[in-house]
Amino acid sequence: MENKIVVITGASAGIGAALSELIGRKGGRPVLAARREPELRQVAARSGAEALPVVADVTRREDVQRVLDAALARFGQVDVWVNNAGRGITRLVSELTDEDLDEMMRVNVKSALYGMQAVLPHFQSRGSGHLINVSSMLGRVPSVPLRSAYNAAKHALNALTANLRMELRERHPGLHVSTVMPGPVATDFGLNALGGGPDSRRIPFAQTAEEVAAVIAELIQHPRAADVYTRPEFHQQVLGYYASEELGAPPRRS
């Protein structure tokens, strides 16, 4: 982790903030991107003297490019890019509007696509780099109907990530493309969901943002092109879901 330049989107709170602070403690140099300037600067102040906050709306392609430009101007390179920005929704499929679906795709998919496409030429020119997309277990097992369009967006993100991994595998073996799959995380994610919703911090057995950040940090230190689950039992739940005779039945708990 020492001296690694790590760009993190959605870094003003939650997983992104915890990851930025952890990277700073481990000797890395985080580049933090988010819309909320006061919160972003507070996180940057806790992330070490080398931390670089960049106020940006990552649903805008030009803002994402500006984040990359700022990182290169300060540090000359980027080693890792973490697409972490995301937002939930509390709407059943039968209730979804065009605007609901557009918002979920814009925040959870297009922002990550912009990040992938912005940093990829830099990684290719260097022959190395690690792209990490933070998805969700709901992108594998869509078991919460109220999160409908969020689930769909994370499924789309998983597919794009897998396809990019395949695209790069032979011609760019020094580039790693990873997906991180958390379950419920004890942050304000639920409260900030489109349409409001239950506080994620009250969900039984929710992981802390620090636990998830530790999994991502370990992945950065030992890069691999893979899907990474933030708890070992999650992988078994996915296998159980897709092996079910009635696809869509609730997954068995280990």
Distance, CA of 135 to CA of 218 (rounded, Å): 17
If you average pLDDT over residues 227-240, what whole number do you get?
94
Q: Is residue 68 part of a domain?
A: yes
Question: Which pLDDT score, from 0 to 100, does residue 225 have?
Answer: 79
pLDDT band of 254, cuts 50, 70, 90: very low
Catalytic residue among 150, 229, 241, 242: 150
Q: How confident is the model over 35-47, as pLDDT tens digits? A: 999 999 999 999 9
Closest CA to 40 of 24, 53, 22, 27: 53
Cα dihedral sign, 214-217-221-222:
positive
- Residue 253 in this model has a pLDDT that exceeds 90: no
If you average pLDDT over residues 44-63, what whole number do you get?
97
Q: Is residue 193 part of a domain?
A: yes
Residue 197 vs residue 176, higher pLDDT: 176
Q: Is residue 254 part of a domain?
A: no
Q: Is residue 248 part of a domain?
A: no
Our answer to whether residue 229 is catalytic in this structure is no
- Please, what is the end-to-end C-alpha distance for the chain in angstroms? 33
- Residue 247 in this model has a pLDDT that exceeds 80: no
Q: Is residue 252 part of a domain?
A: no
- Residue 249 in this model has a pLDDT that exceeds 90: no
Q: Is residue 250 part of a domain?
A: no
Residue 179 vs residue 244, higher pLDDT: 179
Distance, CA of 41 to CA of 21 (rounded, Å): 12
Q: How confident is the model over 85-121, as pLDDT tens digits? A: 999 999 999 999 999 999 999 999 999 999 999 999 9
Question: Which pLDDT score, from 0 to 100, does residue 11 have?
Answer: 97
Q: Is residue 114 part of a domain?
A: yes
Closest CA to 215 of 203, 235, 205, 229: 229
If you average pLDDT over residues 76-85, what whole number do you get?
98
Report the predicted TM-score, pTM, of the whole model to 2 decimal places.
0.94
Question: Which pLDDT score, from 0 to 100, does residue 178 have?
Answer: 97
Count CB atoms within 10 A of the CB of residue 127: 10
183: domain CATH number is: 3.40.50.720
Tally the domains of the chain.
1
- Residue 251 in this model has a pLDDT that exceeds 60: no
Q: What residue numbers bound the domain in which 190 lies?
A: 5-243
Q: Is residue 43 part of a domain?
A: yes
